[in-house]
């Protein structure tokens, strides 16, 4: 039986510091039918030289340099140029773990009804040292409706399902992944594989306060749109309030991380109004308490508490 082609896209912009490790992690996969497309938005560092060098050595990698409006458009353009039945994208500072692609293909072939499969994800620092683990867990579309608990680099999707979902929403700059997961989950189940498939790199250049605030605002927009969709599945309609509460919680956490405490408090109050049960939720309690205590404590807590949203592919826009 012929193995399906897997197409992986990386959006890049001035990624010379990290992209070599990303490329190596993709091209070192032990899966025979793989194409890799890098969409560069106009780098002025050594990114183009790195891409040119790898493309000369390995014809599985092709790259294009053209202006874009952000990650969503870059990834969509890459997918449009690709041929794979299975598609994915990985940020220019993130990594695949050995065997990830083959494991994803096996899981999709074993479960023909699912729209996508996803694994677990490590968190690494600027030097590539392990600093944490993004826990995902079994697929739960009610939970996913309000809270993005998937690790974007560890998700592999059927091309047909992504096309039916309308590809990535190019108006979104930070939470395009959550928006796509919700649309895929409307079509059918996704499947979790309890294996480490990727690593996201967290470093000083990962996100800015502006991006974190935007992630909170976009989460509210995406979840509000989803819960108010007339086509929302019947089994999810009773979970509208909880999903919106989770979105307001996420927004509150984002604005707290950006040191905008007044707006963080407003969002947290909205979350509690919609779901009073959040009073027993550790995420809510930690954020609400520290938001009330003020900025001085935030600076201390930030030494051990990571920012709440990391897409793995932000380009500093």
pLDDT digits (tens, 9 = 90+) for 222-246: 999 999 999 999 999 999 999 999 9
Q: What is the mean pLDDT of the chain?
A: 92
Give the pLDDT confidence score for residue 289 in this predicted structure.
Answer: 85
For the entire predicted model, the pTM comes to 0.91
pLDDT digits (tens, 9 = 90+) for 281-312: 999 998 998 888 765 555 665 565 554 544 43
**Cβ neighbours for 295, distance < 8 A, ≥ 6 positions apart:** 259, 261
Cβ atoms of 254 and 276 within 8 Å: the answer is no
pLDDT digits (tens, 9 = 90+) for 74-126: 999 999 999 999 999 999 999 999 999 999 999 999 999 999 999 999 999 99
Give the pLDDT confidence score for residue 1 in this predicted structure.
Answer: 72
**Mean pLDDT for the stretch of residues 46-63:** 98
Give the pLDDT confidence score for residue 292 in this predicted structure.
Answer: 80
């Amino acid at each position: 039986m012929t193995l399906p082609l897997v197409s992986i896209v990386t959006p890049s912009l001035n990624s010379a510091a990290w992209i070599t490790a990303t490329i190596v992690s993709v091209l070192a996969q032990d899966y025979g039918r793989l194409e890799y497309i890098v969409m560069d938005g106009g780098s002025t560092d050594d990114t183009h030289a790195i891409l040119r060098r790898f493309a000369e050595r390995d014809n599985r990698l092709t790259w294009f340099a053209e202006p874009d409006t952000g990650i969503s458009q870059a990834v969509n353009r890459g997918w449009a140029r690709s041929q794979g039945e299975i598609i994915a994208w990985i940020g220019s500072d993130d990594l695949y773990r050995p065997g990830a692609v083959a494991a994803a293909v096996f899981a999709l072939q074993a479960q023909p009804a699912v729209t996508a499969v996803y694994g677990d994800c490590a968190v690494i620092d600027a030097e590539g040292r392990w600093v944490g683990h993004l826990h995902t867990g079994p697929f739960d579309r009610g939970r996913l409706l309000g809270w993005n608990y998937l690790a974007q680099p560890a998700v592999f999707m059927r091309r047909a399902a992504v096309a039916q979902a309308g590809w990535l929403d190019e108006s979104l700059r930070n939470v395009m992944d959550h928006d796509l997961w919700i649309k895929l989950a409307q079509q059918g189940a996704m499947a979790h594989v309890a294996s480490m498939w990727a690593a996201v790199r967290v470093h000083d250049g990962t996100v800015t306060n502006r991006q974190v605030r935007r992630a909170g605002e976009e989460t509210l927009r995406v979840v509000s749109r989803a819960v108010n969709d007339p086509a929302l599945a019947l089994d999810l309609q009773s979970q509208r309030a909880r999903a919106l509460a989770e979105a307001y919680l996420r927004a509150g956490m984002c604005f707290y991380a950006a040191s905008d405490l007044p707006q963080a408090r407003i969002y947290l109050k909205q979350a509690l109004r919609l779901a009073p049960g959040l009073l027993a939720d550790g995420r809510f309690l930690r954020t609400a308490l520290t938001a009330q205590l003020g900025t001085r404590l935030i600076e201390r807590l930030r030494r051990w508490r990571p920012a709440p949203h990391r897409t793995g592919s932000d380009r500093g826009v």
